[in-house]
């Protein structure tokens, strides 16, 4: 079974803090993704990575950065957290070349910025 | 206008009913269509995948794509309380394109 784990289920931070969200997958997937999920807006892609040290901006990269130093690990960084970044953050991974584009998700991190 | 529109619900139906969940889209270039199911406090998981137009059946679930109308549906027969979840549609332009375009998700509640 593919397993995607995220470092925290719940996180509370203060405005202006630097926040690190970690994601690890154990199935040697090339692709990894960070989404945020908000009611009524669905999943919005923040960043994705198709290889170690490679990254591409998604639809809403502003205020976020990412790091992928190892194939299995993809980190999301909020440089200076703001209240509008309060959200559910989902990490996913996928195998390149699969026709069904299946993405495997972690359980999510609910981040609250006060 | 969003590329993919999906009614957020909630949709509440009695156990045993046939459920119909739908998404409409605006871009005729979409070729691959997926339905993901997300239980409360969990990440989404792939439920059904179809390519181009037509139907695909898997147990109690049927996915239908009508490209001429830019409309996709997921039908659930003999619905069970365990089907209560949020259902998200997702689409992509080409095979192995890792970027998916997502609907907002429909929250489904099956009442015992």
| Digit-coded pLDDT (tens) for A75-87 | 999 999 999 999 9
Q: What does the pLDDT average to over A44-67?
A: 94
Tokens coding A92: 């996913």
Q: Is B45 on the interface with A (CB under 8 A)?
A: yes
**Residue pairs spanning A and B at CB distance below 8 A:** 66
CB contact under 8 A, A100 and B104: no
Tokens coding A21: 């969200």
CB contact under 8 A, A40 and B99: no
The residue with tokens 């269509």 is: B33
Chain B: residue whose CA lies nearest to A104 = B45
Q: What is the pLDDT of residue A41?
A: 86
Ranking A49-58, A93-102, B102-111 by mean pLDDT, the lowest is A93-102
pLDDT digits (tens, 9 = 90+) for B37-53: 999 989 999 999 998 88
Strand bridging mode A19-25 / A4-6: antiparallel
pLDDT digits (tens, 9 = 90+) for B54-82: 899 999 999 999 999 999 999 999 999 99
């Amino acid at each position: 079974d593919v397993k995607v784990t995220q470092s925290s289920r719940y996180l509370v931070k203060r405005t202006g803090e630097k926040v690190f969200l970690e994601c690890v997958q154990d199935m040697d997937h090339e692709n990894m993704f960070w989404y945020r999920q908000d009611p009524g807006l669905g999943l919005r892609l923040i960043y994705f990575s198709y290889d170690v040290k490679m990254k591409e901006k998604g639809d809403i990269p502003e205020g976020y950065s990412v790091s992928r130093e190892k194939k299995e690990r993809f980190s999301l960084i909020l440089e200076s957290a703001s209240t509008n970044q309060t959200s559910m953050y989902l990490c996913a991974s996928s195998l390149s070349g699969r026709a069904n584009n299946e993405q495997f998700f972690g359980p999510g991190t609910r981040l609250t910025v006060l | 206008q969003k590329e993919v529109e999906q009614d957020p619900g909630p949709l509440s139906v009695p156990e045993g009913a046939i459920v119909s969940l739908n998404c409409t889209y605006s871009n005729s270039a979409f070729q691959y269509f997926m339905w993901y199911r997300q239980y409360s406090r969990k990440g989404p998981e792939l439920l059904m995948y179809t390519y181009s137009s037509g139907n695909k059946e898997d147990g109690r679930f049927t996915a239908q794509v009508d490209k001429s109308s830019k409309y996709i549906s997921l039908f659930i027969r003999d619905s069970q309380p365990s089907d209560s979840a949020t259902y998200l549609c997702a689409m992509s332009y080409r095979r192995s394109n890792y970027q998916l375009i997502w609907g907002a998700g429909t929250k489904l509640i099956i009442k015992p």
